[in-house]
Structure 1
Amino acid sequence: MSKHNAAIIGVCLTMVGALAYLSFVNARHFLWVSILILTVTMLPFYIRFEKKAFASREIVFIAVLAAIAAVSRVPFSVLPSIQPTSFVIIVSALVLGGEAGFLIGATAALVSNLFLGQGPWTLWQMCGWGLMGLIAGMLRNYTFMQKHIGRIMFGIIAGFVFGWFTNISVFITFLGELTWQTLLLTYVTSFYFDLAHAASNAFFLAVFGRQWIKILTRFKGKYGLLE
């Protein structure tokens, strides 16, 4: 892991830790503080992306993948937590790297919620899917991520972790009293949805993972994208 990637992970974990701490220390303004912290967490990625000398075709490629990830979520909205959005983010990050994965994940959450409804949860979903793409891209050169079963296991774990992370937005927005009991209730209630998300990730990666990675790798090599 490069020093740059380690620093990014460190900042993100620090921000998440600050959010968890604030939930029990200063609950009065926790919602607004959480939005501020999440915004500060994501802003450096967009600034770094803006300053890089990307070719127009590279920007279009990332935008198209983000649009696919976003739009693919909408038809599946009738099936809670069963959608291919995480799958698209993971395979894109495996081919294009962690920074592109973060941007695709965060943008997909924002765009899809234009159709499904914006709210305090949007920033949490942006950060959750962004981190999923970032970590998948950072781990792409490790042996287990280059194996089919390793990618499936990552998708299962990512589905649960995403749910645990975004549960915090439900906890602080709708449950009112911030206690360990309401926190536990939130996670117990969400278990089915987290399981459905993890299972759908496993299904899409198992059935379509190899083909998507092959297609994206071919596009990347043919047009010299994000080298």
Structure 2
Amino acid sequence: MSNYILITALIALAICAVFLFAFERKRPSARDILPIVIMCVIASVGRVIFSFLPGIQPVTAIVIIMGVCYGPQTGFVTGALCALISNVFIGHGPWTPWQMLAWGLIGIIGAGIAHFRWGRKTYVLAAYGVLAGFLYSMIMDIWTVSTLASGLTLPIVLSVYGAGLLYNIGHAIGNAVFIVLLYKPLSKKLLRLRSKYGILEKEIK
């Protein structure tokens, strides 16, 4: 069992490393990185504050907003770093690379949706936030299944996904609420920074 846990964690970590390296290759300046750092801190603090409510936290919403405003690589980096930073307070473990991967992919998909004109509407992103809550858990449950010593069978997989249903519903609803509350004010400031200072122009192009 320990071998499966280690292997899956290394796979997730390797995927994250590829995306982080691709971002680094663009040689972002300190000014480019600053919005990512600020959003990661805000998201991480919010995750700690809301940790008493299962599944409800602002990380997913902020990651989606960063992907929408600054593109897929920034969305991925923000998601990965949010998991890494917030787990300093909540607790690191072999699940951390999977959290980094899950939130990173959610940021990438958010950026993809934003390529369509309708994809930047609040209600569309709120709907995606609901789906992202279930997507996050689907990815995380890959790690959960890998920790089971009883073997991989369909009933076991279904029981794992079923056990997290209430958590997933809370996460999904929380995402939609946070997007409705945060999307317009945050995106306005982030896009203003992008326009005024040329932040992450290489990423947008």
Pick from 103, 117, 129: which aligns with 1:143?
117
Provide the rounded CA distance (Å) in 1 between the counterparts of 2:181 and 2:24.
35
Q: 1:139 Cα deviation (Å)?
A: 2.2
Q: Structure 2: how far apart are the matches of 1:207 and 1:68?
A: 14
Aligned to 2:29: 55
Paired residue for 1:176? 149
- Report the secondary structure of 2:50's partner residue: helix
| Match runs of 1:102-117 below 5 Å | 102-117=76-91
How far, CA to CA, are the matches of 2:91 and 2:200 in structure 1? 32
CA RMSD, Structure 1 to Structure 2 (Å): 1.4
The alpha carbon displacement at 1:145 in A equals 1.2
C-alpha separation in 1, matches of 2:43 and 2:95:
18
Q: Structure 1 CA distance, aligned partners of 2:107 and 2:44?
A: 14
Aligned partner (choices 24, 44, 48) of residue 74 of structure 1: 48
* Partners of 2:35 and 2:175 in 1: CA distance: 23
- C-alpha offsets along residues 104-153 of structure 1, whole Å, 9 cap, x if unaligned? 00010011111001111111101000100111112211133122211111
Measured in 2, the distance between the counterparts of 1:208 and 1:111 equals: 21
AA aligned to 2:59 is T
Give the one of 100, 125, 144 matched to 2:99.
125
Equivalence map 1:1-227=2 (5 Å): 29-173=3-147, 175-178=148-151, 179-227=153-201
The 3 A distance-change label for structure 1 pair 61 and 180 is same
Alignment check: 8 A CA contact 2:16 2:97 kept:
no
Matched residue of 1:111: which SS?
helix
Q: Which runs of 4+ in 1 moved over 3 A?
A: none
**Quick check: 2:67–2:110 contact (8 Å CA) kept in 1?**
yes
What is the CA–CA distance in structure 2 between the aligned matches of 1:202 and 1:61, rounded to whole Å? 22
TM-score computed with the length of structure 1 as normaliser:
0.83
Partners of 1:204 and 1:61 lie apart in 2 by: 19
- Counting matched residue pairs gives 200
CA contact (8 A) 1:144 1:151 kept: no
Work out the CA distance in 2 between the residues paired with 1:84 and 1:130: 14
| TM-score, reference length from structure 2 | 0.92
CA distance in 2 between counterparts of 1:191 and 1:111 reads 26
Take 1:210 and 1:38, find their aligned partners in 2: how far apart are those partners? 32
In the TM superposition, residue 170 of structure 1 has moved relative to its aligned partner by 2.0
- On the 8 A contact 2:141/2:160 being kept in 1, the answer is yes
Provide the C-alpha distance between the structure 1 equivalents of 2:96 and 2:30, rounded to a whole number of angstroms. 28
Whether the 8 Å CA contact 1:86–1:129 is kept in 2: the answer is yes
Query: Secondary structure of 1:120's partner?
Result: coil
* 1:53 alignment partner, SS class: coil
Q: Percent identity?
A: 34
Residue type of the partner of 1:32? L
Which structure 2 segments of 5+ residues have no match? none
Q: Give the deviation of 1:165 after TM superposition.
A: 1.1
